Structure 1
Amino acid sequence: MKRLAAVLLTCLVITAISQAESRTDGRKGIVLAHPEQAGMGQPFLVRLTSAQAFDRVSVHWMGRVVVPSVAQWKQCHVAIAMLGTDVLTIKPGTQTLLVRAWSGGKETVWHRSVKIVTRSYPRQELSLPSKMVSPPGAELERIKAERIRTQKAKNTWSDQRLWRLPFHQPVGGKITSTYGLQRVLNGKPKDPHRGLDFRAPSGTAVEAVADGRVILAESHYYAGNSMYIDHGNGVISLYFHLSEFEVCQGDIVKRGQIIGRAGCTGRATGPHLHLSISAQGQLVDPAPLFEETTDQLIR
């Protein structure tokens, strides 16, 4: 009992120190940490820490149930889930966060709220070939079929979490277009930009942001040569406009491994890399995932 108490104290102290500004709650030896608010389109983390092993953990967010894998850290059992919202569909307001944890055969339930706050994004006007803004009828079936496959890929779930923060930057070039840009193409308002564009001449090596498995690698009408990598627990990275693939669908890749080459395929005004991150099917802003640690994304 003394050892268990010491381990629990260690878990509580670790959480208290690293999450001084987080919303935390300890019940039956389990500590929950999550932010009270998040910007529209911004990712955030939920973390459960316990001195005793979890039998099961589930996180319910925006109609999706997430069952995060559990790791051990400093004699504590830790479960982390990446959540967020998509700037295309989210509105300011309060969203419900439901967390359930089973330990020693007993269940603990938390009902929490996360306030989604307004975040302003700049406007960007681009000129493109007309067929890339309003595709010819002959391409509509292709586009529809690609949308079905990519939607399935974005919603992929695998049990083992392979990602860690901060992510590895896929190319060395600077960011030329940020997430959330309100795009106007050939004078017509279109969906906001739901990723980051990096400057990358054709042939530039593109590297994986984290360990994972390639779940889709094919040519698409709008995104050109595209690759989707599953990093586990509902986190998927998307790489668009590639000139070529260096790995194939089904391959296991490591963080920093070359997975393709930058290019100008699909709807693009010049060579670059477009990167998106899907967290539980929501395309979130990738930028914080390259800049911040786990602790920072819980505050």
Structure 2
Amino acid sequence: MFRRPILVLLLLLALASPSAAEMKARFIAPQAVSQGEPFLVELILPVEPRSASLRWLGREQALEPRPVEGGFWSLRALVGASASQKAGREIVAFSVDVAGRSRTFPWQIEIRSRSFPESRLTVEEKMVVPPEEARSRIEKESRRVQAALASSQPSGLWTLPLNRPVKGIVTCPYGWRRVYNGKPRSPHSGVDLRAGVGASVRSLAPGRVLLAEEHYFAGNVVYVDHGGGVVSAYAHLSRIDVAVGQDVERGQVLGLAGATGRVTGPHLHLGLFLQGRSVDAMPLFEEDLKGLLEGRQELEIALG
């Protein structure tokens, strides 16, 4: 006796639901970025994907979709190229499984060259050319960092703008060419912020502690995974107040600023890594995020 109403309901639902050929995805991204500049990419889908990932500069990062207004699903990622990345055109691509069908959505981005100033610093010679007995330690620490950067969870816990870890001004920007005791070294992989010994250092966003230990160059350092390939690092701390595996909140104190490791004075070295590559964190602290959002364009793509 209930068969006819059920059939009518199913018919109405079928008429109201768009066919696969009518469903469309929206890809939002910039057309050009500079070396070291973070940027935001987003894929908006009309249905929830079974799985999703992002590929950029040879690295794959699993992502977790999140529901957004209107019954849509968003895949949102922070991406960037390091200061040493060659200028040219590269492809960023989302790969998704929708209803058992794999789809890839590529977007071409131009990476533009950027000029970075040079800074000359005088430090202890052992911090420029480490003694033989320290080299094995440095290699082990580097491997631990690389493993941590590759372990980011799919679920993005970050929100923009990011929380500024200390109030101090920038004393050495990202990307500056470093010359220690007259010997050129790789570009500055983070940004140095003024902070006196004992100043509270706070997390950029919610996350989980990946590393909390003492390193030869970085001194006391904490790495936090914010998900979706976003990892922050806080170096030269005088004290560490968190432990590996601990979940932290946005703005939570991770430790106290100091002058441990290779330094010329107390400060916080802040590193931000997107899919394992260091980028300039400063554009992500802007309250209006104008620099991050301007220049983005939208492409509509049929799913059928």
TM-score when normalising by structure 2: 0.86
What whole-Å deviation, never above 9, does each CA across 1:26-76 have from its counterpart, x for those lacking one?
983211111111111111121011232222222211111122211112132
- Residue 53 of structure 1 aligns to a residue in which SS? coil
**DSSP-derived class of the 2:284 partner:** helix
1:270-285 pair list within 5 angstroms: 270-285=265-280
| Structure 2 counterparts to residues 192-271 of structure 1, below 5 A | 192-271=187-266
Does the 8 Å CA contact 1:58/1:66 hold for their aligned counterparts? yes
Pick aligned residue for 1:296 from 281, 293, 297: 293
In the alignment, is residue 157 of structure 1 matched against residue 152 of structure 2?
yes
Picking from 138, 142, 156, the partner of 1:143 is 138
For residue 93 of structure 1, what is the aligned residue in structure 2?
A: 88
Distance 1:27 1:190, change over 3 A: farther
Distance 1:4 1:77 in 2: 16
Alpha-carbon distance between aligned partners in 2 of 1:27 and 1:276, rounded to the nearest angstrom:
44
The reply on whether 1:78 has 2:78 as its aligned counterpart is no
Q: 1:191 aligns with which of 172, 178, 186?
A: 186
Determine the C-alpha separation between the residues in 1 that align with 2:245 and 2:295. Answer: 32
Mark the CA change 1:27 to 1:115 in structure 2 (over 3 Å): closer, same or farther: farther
Q: Relative to structure 1, is the Cα distance of residues 39 and 192 closer, same or farther in structure 2, using a 3 angstrom cutoff?
A: same
Displacement of 1:194 in angstroms is 1.0
Please tell me whether the aligned partners of residues 210 and 254 of structure 1 are also in contact (alpha carbons under 8 angstroms): yes
Q: Which stretches in structure 2 are left out of the alignment for 5+ residues? A: 1-12, 297-304
Structure 1 segments, 4+ long, off by >4 Å, are 1-5
Q: Is the CA contact 1:46–1:298 (under 8 Å) kept in the aligned structure 2?
A: no
CA–CA distance in 2 between the matches of 1:58 and 1:166?
23
Preserved contact between residue 116 and residue 176 of structure 2 (Cα < 8 Å) = yes
Give the SS at the match of 2:126.
helix
Query: Using a 3 Å threshold, how does the CA distance of structure 1 residues 194 and 243 change in structure 2: closer, same or farther?
Result: same
Distance 1:186 1:78 in 2: 49
* SS, match of residue 105 in structure 2: strand
Q: Could you tell me whether the CA contact under 8 Å between 2:36 and 2:175 is conserved in 1?
A: yes
Instruction: Return closer, same or farther for 1:297/1:239 CA change in 2, 3 Å cut-off.
Output: farther
Q: Which has the larger radius of gyration?
A: 2
d(CA) in 2 for partners of 1:134 and 1:106?
A: 53
Higher mean C-alpha deviation, range 151-160 or range 139-148: 151-160
Contact 1:132–1:267 (8 Å) recurs in 2: yes
| Residue 238 to residue 3, structure 1, CA distance change in 2 (3 Å) | farther
Whether the aligned pair in 2 keeps the contact of 1:244 and 1:262 (CA below 8 Å) is yes
Q: Distance in 1 between matches of 2:152 and 2:196?
A: 33
The question of whether the paired residues in 2 share the 8 Å contact of 1:33 and 1:298 is answered with no
**What secondary structure is seen at the aligned counterpart in 2 of 1:231?**
strand
C-alpha distance in 1 between matches for 2:80 and 2:166 = 24
Q: How many matched pairs? A: 278
**Whole-Å separation in 1 of the counterparts to 2:77 and 2:37:** 14
1:5-84 equivalent positions in 2, closer than 5 A? 28-75=23-70, 76-84=72-80
Q: 1:47 and 1:160, CA in 2 relative to 1: closer, same or farther beyond 3 A? A: same
Contact 2:56-2:93 at 8 Å conserved across structures: yes
Report the TM-score, using the length of structure 1 for normalisation: 0.87
Indicate the SS of the match to 1:149.
Answer: helix
Residue 108 in structure 1 maps to residue 103 in structure 2: yes
The residue type paired with residue 98 of structure 2 is: S
* Cα offsets for 1:230-285 (capped at 9, x unmatched): 11111110000000011111111000011100000000000100000111110111
Deviation at 1:297, TM superposition (A): 7.1
Q: What is the rounded CA distance, in whole Å, between the counterparts of 1:53 and 1:283 in structure 2? A: 31
Q: Deviations over 1:76-127 (max 9, x none)?
A: 2111122111113x11111122322333334433233111101111111111
